[in-house]
Amino acid sequence: MSHKLTFSGRISGFFFEVGDMSLFAVRYFREVFRGPYEFRELLNQCYTIGNRSLLLVGVTGFILGLVFTLQSRPTLMEFGAESWMPSMVSISIVREIGPVITALICAGKIGSGIGAELGSMKVTEQIDAMEVSGTNPFKYLVITRITATTLMIPLLIVFGDFIALLGSALVENLKGGVSFTLYFNKVFNALSFGDLLPATIKSFFFGFVIGLVGCYKGYHCKKGTLGVGEASNSAVVYASMLLFIVDFIAVFISDIFFEI
């Protein structure tokens, strides 16, 4: 790949990266179903990615629900439509805001973490050491991490959504005197499978994208500490960008299948 910053160089560099990342994804799918399986490491990664991010996701989700409800209240009150708050908040959180915000936070925390970890392992020849010791580092490091993000981020999104709705219900309870039972009754009244299913399906793709980009960037890290920083940084940037592209495509597809 050319490192000259000419326009054509950048363009070809971009396409090279897209192609290379696609090959990386293809390699993931080729190897994920083939043994040997690194279950211990997978569980370890699930723990790191899932449990260790729950607090962050929970806090941001709670504040998101709280603020969203507080901000929307005056407008809805103007129309005398406060009773629509649970429906409005739940639909926007479950369908869009919850998955996207949680995924972006995970891209920041998990994606950059994976990028930096694999990047530094690459730089200090730990990945080579694994390979030499007869362990497939792609299986050990990449498959486990991408699988873990693909499985854990949807769960984090479910938690995030739920906690955001709790935050919203709290505001409604304190400011509007709406009981939690009534709030959640209205929430489930407003939601349909067409809201929850596409959001859940797309959250698996979010998880996959975060893991894929983090692993790719780390695995192809350039030598030196600067390379590690760059790997972690570009993992976040690329993952965030890809998340929005995936989201766009997901909305497009669910529009066709679920008739939003």
Min CB(46)–other proteins separation in Å: 5
Q: Whole-angstrom Cα distance, residue 53 to residue 35?
A: 29
Min CB(129)–other proteins separation in Å: 4
Which residue, 89 or 242, is less far from other proteins as judged by CB? 89
Which residue, 188 or 248, is less far from other proteins as judged by CB? 188
Q: Whole-angstrom Cα distance, residue 243 to residue 99?
A: 10
Which residue, 43 or 70, is less far from other proteins as judged by CB? 43
CB 183 within 8 A of CB 86: yes
Which residue, 31 or 230, is less far from other proteins as judged by CB? 31
Min CB(125)–other proteins separation in Å: 4
Residue type at 186 in one-letter notation: K
Which residue, 9 or 245, is less far from other proteins as judged by CB? 9
Q: Whole-angstrom Cα distance, residue 172 to residue 166?
A: 10
Which residue, 59 or 237, is less far from other proteins as judged by CB? 59
> What letter would DSSP give residue 224?
S
CB 183 within 8 A of CB 96: no
Element spanning 81, H or E = none
Question: CB-based contacts of 199: which residues, under 8 Å, 6+ apart?
Answer: 94, 95, 96, 98, 99, 157
Which residue, 26 or 241, is less far from other proteins as judged by CB? 26
Min CB(241)–other proteins separation in Å: 27
Min CB(71)–other proteins separation in Å: 21
Min CB(124)–other proteins separation in Å: 5
Min CB(156)–other proteins separation in Å: 8
Question: CB-based contacts of 53: which residues, under 8 Å, 6+ apart?
Answer: 105, 106, 109, 110, 152, 156
- Interface with other proteins (CB under 8 A): 36, 43-44, 46-47, 50-51, 54, 81, 117, 120-121, 124-126, 128-136, 155-156, 158-159, 162, 188-189, 191-193, 195-196, 200
- Is the torsion defined by CA of 20, 23, 27, 29 positive or negative? positive
Q: Is 125 left (phi over 0), alpha (psi -120 to 50) or beta?
A: left
Where do we find the tokens 């993992």? 235
